[in-house]
Amino acid sequence: MVMRKALAASVLAAVVGTSSIVGAASAAPAAKTAASVQAKQATFLVNGSSASFRVVTKNGETLVSIRDVAKAIGANIAVHNGALTVTLNGHTVEAKLSANQITADGAAVSLKQPIQLVEGSTYMAVRPLVNGLGGTVALNGTQVVISTVKLVEGAENPRFVSASKLLVSTVQESGRTDYLVDAASGKSDVLLTSTDKSDLVVSPDGKQAIFSDSEGLLYLINLSTKAVSKLSEDNNIKPELVWSPDSSTVYFLQGDKGSVIAKINVASGEITKILEDKVDYKSSLNVSADGTKFVYAVTTLGSVTADSTNVDEDNVAIDYSTNQIQIFSFDSSVTDGKPVQLTKGTDDKVFIASADGKTATYVSVANENSNAVLVSVGASGTALNLYSERDVLESVQYGGKLYVLAADSDSENGIYEVTSTGAAKQLYAVSAEVTSIVVSEFGIAVVRDGQVLVRSGNAWTAITK
């Protein structure tokens, strides 16, 4: 047992200390072909699945069987005039025995040591081989991760569908494309292309997503079959869609000014109005688990201060200082109940959330010179600062918990879990290029410089580029 541990430790030490990466090897050694070279088996993570490669260690560097790597990544391999040619996704690597370099797509790439022949198989460093084929090699703890998947580029708005799948979108001049992306490998599949559809909102059971079109019509898309079905003929604009926890009902704001709170039964398509108080510009709709209580924002617009009898004139003056966002709660179970205003301050209020439909949390931005602060407020109207140590960039609520992305320094952001009493615990330190976080029962993802990464083990795995 001691000898096995020592063997694994020696292989890992060789890996970490060289430019080619191989995970800690485990398995019995094969027969020697030379006194200083011994083949072993090592387990890699290749495009989200485990794969076993033959490896040899020489002069402190770990080399892998070219044929084993090619088989695992689905590359074609051929031998011609004593040279191995490996091709994958339009990339070509040529390798010659005993050579100190390879040719990757016609360009010479130097190797630390020559390509080796051991027990009839050809070995070389894994990183230049995989990189030459358009892939990447990374180390997650002691696990070597190889990816040769063609990743979606420029993706945004990641949403977990399940533990193994996310929904992401790309936007071009021609419209938007939605993809289902494997959380381990980054393999993607086009789900929907559209020109006038709202963002897809995934149901809690992960089976379908709902969206509206420019006419206000609602549609469902089955995330397995990709089949799209119209849910309702109601053509009132629906700017926000919120699922119930059991995936049976969708709540939404209705009208081009978001004046009404309503719901639709997913099975029958029946729409029921919940609140119609003639107050326009509602937004940030949050619904309690039982569907009776609501928290939302109302925006008041600037007021005309000049002569308003001829508002078509260019010189009409508008006082934008009266622009305000205030937060309200409404309990539909109370007979003849009225919305309750929770806030009165003139600060900007963003990332508004509520778990119970009574108490709201939001990020308060007083002015551009002060830090943004995470705040909670209830029916009393008393605001409580939950997190103010660092500038809050984003707040996400999930499962009754709050998660904050905050600027720790010029080069680093932090992801914190914040309790309802204001106790904060840092979960991760991330690059300052991280601009958004996504939290789900299935895991956590971030958007870094336009790239989506999912937390996997002790590292962040890029699933888009």
CA distance 241 to 261: 10
Mean pLDDT of the chain: 89
Q: How many domains does the structure of the chain reveal?
A: 1
CA distance 50 to 232: 46
Asked, for residue 186, whether it belongs to a domain, the answer is no
Amino acid of residue 132: G
Asked, for residue 375, whether it belongs to a domain, the answer is no
Asked, for residue 260, whether it belongs to a domain, the answer is no
How far are the Cα atoms of 367, 410, 413 from residue 370, in angstroms, in the given order?
Answer: 6, 16, 17
Q: What is the pTM of this model?
A: 0.81
The kind and range of the H/E element at 242 are strand 240-243
Asked, for residue 427, whether it belongs to a domain, the answer is no
Q: Is the dihedral of CA 47, 48, 54, 58 positive or negative?
A: positive
Q: Is the dihedral of CA 97, 101, 102, 107 positive or negative?
A: negative
Any idea what the CATH number is for the domain that residue 8 is in? 3.30.457.10
Asked, for residue 56, whether it belongs to a domain, the answer is yes
- Each residue's pLDDT, cut to its tens digit, for the chain (465 residues) gives 333 333 333 333 333 333 333 433 333 333 344 445 788 999 999 998 999 999 999 888 889 999 999 999 999 999 988 899 999 999 999 999 999 999 999 999 999 999 999 988 999 999 999 999 999 998 888 889 999 999 999 999 999 999 999 999 999 999 999 999 999 999 999 999 999 999 999 999 999 999 999 999 999 999 999 999 999 999 999 999 999 999 999 999 999 999 999 999 999 999 999 999 999 999 999 999 999 999 999 999 766 666 555 655 566 665 555 679 999 999 999 999 999 999 999 999 999 999 999 999 999 998 888 899 999 999 999 999 999 999 999 999 998 899 999 999 999 999 999 998 999 999 999 999 999 999 999 999 999 999 999 998 888 989 998
Asked, for residue 282, whether it belongs to a domain, the answer is no
Enumerate residues 6+ apart whose C-beta is below 8 A from 338: 277, 330
Asked, for residue 194, whether it belongs to a domain, the answer is no
Asked, for residue 48, whether it belongs to a domain, the answer is yes
Tens-place pLDDT, residues 92-123: 999 999 999 999 999 999 999 999 999 889 99
CA distance 120 to 344: 78
Sheet with strand 175-182: strands edge to edge: 156-162, 165-172, 175-182, 188-194
| 386, 368 Cβ separation under 8 angstroms | no
Range of the structural domain that residue 14 is part of: 2-147
